């Protein structure tokens, strides 16, 4: 059995969106400069860009991620977490991007503020992996049923305010469901930020 090479960028600064995109595509596709250009194109002629951190260290919003995905002929759909993930057509999905709350820390001191963190999850070979850039290495999640359980756990904590986006190639979700879901479930494409 051949050993799988798994591309995994680790967290630097506030570039989790950048790492999530590159980990999702399993190669170094995007650089910070490209995501900064997307921010500028989304909101030209503004002094403070609403799509990234005030200091320009990253912390990109969903608009930047969706635009970056569109440049690679992909699109993201917001998953209604009131639904069960078992309705997701896993064969139509490139992968998942999760947005989860994260604590602000200065050294060992946790501040009473929360920021958002982007995580990629995708199938590589026959198994799914959590490609969170804060992990030392990719985390094996397992088979289809294992990834669905992982997603249930991520979305099940109401106070956690986790959000899930399904990523597909543009032409893969044009069948009867049109949105990578079985007909009994519905998701909405989002254009807002989190």
- Residues assigned a catalytic role: 16, 117
- CA neighbor of 162 nearest in space, from 103, 95, 99, 76: 99
CB-count burial class (<10 Å; 0-12, 13-18, 19+) for 35: buried
Identify the helix (H) or strand (E) that includes residue 19: helix 16-25
Q: Tell me the backbone φ, ψ of residue 170, rounded to 5 degrees.
A: -55, -40
- Cα dist from 83 to 10, 50, 78, 157, whole Å: 31, 30, 12, 13
Helix (H), strand (E) counts: the chain? 4, 6
Q: By the 8 A CB rule, do 152 and 160 touch? A: no
């Amino acid at each position: 059995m051949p050993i799988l090479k798994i591309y995994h960028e680790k967290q630097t600064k506030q570039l989790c969106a950048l790492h999530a995109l590159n980990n999702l595509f399993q190669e170094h596709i995007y650089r910070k400069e490209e995501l900064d250009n997307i921010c500028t194109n989304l909101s030209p002629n503004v002094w403070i860009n609403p799509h990234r951190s005030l200091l320009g260290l990253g912390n990109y919003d969903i608009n930047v991620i969706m635009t970056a995905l569109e440049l690679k002929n992909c699109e993201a759909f917001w998953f209604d977490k009131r639904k069960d993930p078992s309705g997701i057509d896993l064969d139509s999905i490139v992968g998942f991007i999760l947005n989860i709350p994260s604590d602000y820390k200065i050294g060992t001191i946790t501040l009473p503020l929360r920021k958002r963190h982007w995580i990629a999850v995708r199938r590589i070979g026959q198994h799914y992996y959590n490609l969170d850039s804060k992990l030392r290495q990719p985390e094996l999640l397992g088979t289809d049923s294992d990834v669905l359980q992982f997603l249930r756990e991520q979305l099940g904590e109401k106070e956690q305010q986790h959000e899930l986006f399904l990523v597909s190639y543009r032409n893969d979700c044009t069948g009867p469901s049109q949105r990578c879901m079985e007909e009994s479930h519905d998701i909405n494409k989002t254009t807002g930020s989190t």
